[in-house]
């Protein structure tokens, strides 16, 4: 016979779950960025050999500078329609703190 261990189940008192409303952030288009045009480093043959890698690093450096400028509290990027190297950068501001 196999011994079965019984786990104790503790029932927690139920309480009403109320949905909380979070204030929504305002989203505004800051820039449309072509990663092929970003040149913060002289890449030389690296850009030709590994273009996606270089474009990803360049986009990261661009976003880092954008956040450091404090134009917005967060940045969201989305691919521009029909392109793998052009992105739209949106600034995300807390409600009531939108920079105009």
pLDDT (tens digit per residue) in 7-65 = 555 555 666 666 666 566 688 899 999 999 999 889 999 999 999 999 999 999 999 99
Domain-located, residue 89: yes
Residue 38 CB partners (closer than 8 Å, separation 6+): 55, 58, 59, 61, 62
Sheet holding 26-34, edge to edge: 26-34, 86-93, 74-79
Residue 2 resides in a domain: no
Domain-located, residue 66: yes
At residue 48, the pLDDT reads 92
* Domain limits for position 67: 26-93
Domain membership flag for residue 57 = yes
Number of domains in the chain: 1
Judge whether 80 lies within some domain.
Answer: yes
Q: Give CA–CA dist 22/19, Å, rounded.
A: 9
Among 26, 10, 20, 32, which Cα is nearest to 82's? 32
Q: Is 10 inside any structural domain?
A: no
Q: Is residue 20 part of a domain?
A: no
Q: Decide if 62 is inside a domain.
A: yes
């Amino acid at each position: 016979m196999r011994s079965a261990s019984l786990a104790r189940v503790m029932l927690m008192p139920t309480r009403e779950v109320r949905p909380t409303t979070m204030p929504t952030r305002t989203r505004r288009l800051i820039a449309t960025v072509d990663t092929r045009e970003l040149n913060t480093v002289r890449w030389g043959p690296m850009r030709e050999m590994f273009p996606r890698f270089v474009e990803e690093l360049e986009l990261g450096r661009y976003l880092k500078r954008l956040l450091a400028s404090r134009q917005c509290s967060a940045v969201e990027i989305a691919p521009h329609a029909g392109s793998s190297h052009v992105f739209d950068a949106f600034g995300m501001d807390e409600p009531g703190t939108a920079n105009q």
